[in-house]
């Protein structure tokens, strides 16, 4: 199984602290050593980094930990391969274009015998069940809406589509179009919001403590979504099984 990390922020924010701890789970403090990736939205643009090496050992991951790219929506993934070989095309996150926007998706879980019918516009490049599920979600969302829908409309559509994939197995995922971040939990996912008054936090997987009050302004806010809590001194909330949450401007809607 894999692990997920997502940030949805009110203002452009770097993920250096969270990503540093998260990378250790890619082969150092945990066994998710079969590739990794991270995507940063920048306006309508997207920076995507993927690697088939372990995140704990990757020179590219080391570079990103010391080069703080700022974004309002970030999705990262460390992989433990179960379906699909260890190679670059099977590294998450995956990206597609829909309605003139980049979409980014990362998945944790196994979907057994999952072979959905896919049209020409959305086809997987690699061999993972995860990319197949992403392509199907994109295909069905495109069929459901003739033009760019609102976040609320997309959330309703996803609530209808997710059970059709979920019945094939474990379907924890993060999805973003740069405007919002959707997080679905079928087995394990946690979240918190960092906002004023900011406090300090200490990573579980790395010897690093940060005082966020020294780094943030009162208007800053960041929602952090992760498979297993990253810090030992913050209050994380567990998702309920089969819960879908959408985050906008660093806070959950509804």
Q: Map out the domains of the chain as residue ranges.
A: 3-252
Q: What residues are annotated to the active site?
A: 2
Tell me the pLDDT tens digit for each residue of 69-114.
999 999 999 976 666 577 789 998 999 999 999 999 999 999 999 9
pLDDT at 160: 98
Q: How many CB atoms lie within 10 A of CB 55?
A: 31
Tokens of 33: 């050593």
How buried is 109 (Cβ within 10 angstroms: 0-12 exposed, 13-18 middle, 19+ buried)? buried
φ/ψ (deg, to 5) at 195: -155, 175
Q: How far apart are CA 107 and CA 126, in angstroms?
A: 14
Chain centre to alpha carbon of residue 19: 12
Q: Is-contact 128 109, C-beta < 8 A? A: no
Architecture of domain 3-252: 4-Layer Sandwich (3.60)
CA distances from 230 to 4, 103, 144, 235 (A): 11, 25, 37, 11
> Which residue matches tokens 């490049």?
125
Q: How far apart are CA 198 and CA 147, in angstroms?
A: 39
Helices 129-144 and 151-166, axial angle in degrees (round to 10) = 130
pLDDT (tens, 9 = 90+) of the chain, 254 residues, equals 689 999 999 999 999 999 998 888 876 676 656 789 999 999 999 999 999 888 878 888 889 988 889 999 999 999 766 665 777 899 989 999 999 999 999 999 999 999 999 988 999 999 999 999 999 999 999 999 988 899 999 999 999 999 999 999 999 999 999 999 999 999 999 999 999 999 999 999 898 899 999 888 889 999 999 999 999 999 999 999 999 999 999 999 96
Question: What residue ranges in the chain does DSSP mark as E strands?
Answer: 3-14, 36-42, 45-51, 70-78, 94-98, 101-108, 172-176, 181-185, 190-195, 200-202, 209-211, 221-226, 237-238, 243-248, 251-252
Q: Is-contact 192 184, C-beta < 8 A? A: no
């Amino acid at each position: 199984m894999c692990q997920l990390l997502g940030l949805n922020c009110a203002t452009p924010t770097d993920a250096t602290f969270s990503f540093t701890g998260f990378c250790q789970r890619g082969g150092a403090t945990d066994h998710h050593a079969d590739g990794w990736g991270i995507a940063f939205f920048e306006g309508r643009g997207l920076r995507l980094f993927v690697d088939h090496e372990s995140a704990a050992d990757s020179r590219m991951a080391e570079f990103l930990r010391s080069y703080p790219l700022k974004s309002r929506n970030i999705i990262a993934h460390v992989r433990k391969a179960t379906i699909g070989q260890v190679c670059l095309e099977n590294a998450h996150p995956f990206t597609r274009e829909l309605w003139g926007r980049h979409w980014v998706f990362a998945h944790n879980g196994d979907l057994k015998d999952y072979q959905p019918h896919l049209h020409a516009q959305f086809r997987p490049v690699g061999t993972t069940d995860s990319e197949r599920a992403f392509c199907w979600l994109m295909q069905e969302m495109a069929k459901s809406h003739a033009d760019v829908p609102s976040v609320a409309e997309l959330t309703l559509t996803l609530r209808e589509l997710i059970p059709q994939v979920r019945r094939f197995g474990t379907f924890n995922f993060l999805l973003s179009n740069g405007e919002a971040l959707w997080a679905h939990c079928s087995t394990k996912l946690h979240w918190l919001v960092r906002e004023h008054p900011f406090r300090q936090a200490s990573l579980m997987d790395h010897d690093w403590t940060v005082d966020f009050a020294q780094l943030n302004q009162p208007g800053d806010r960041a929602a952090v979504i992760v498979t297993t809590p990253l810090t030992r001194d913050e209050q994380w909330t567990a998702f309920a099984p089969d819960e879908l949450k959408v985050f906008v401007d660093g806070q959950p809607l509804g």
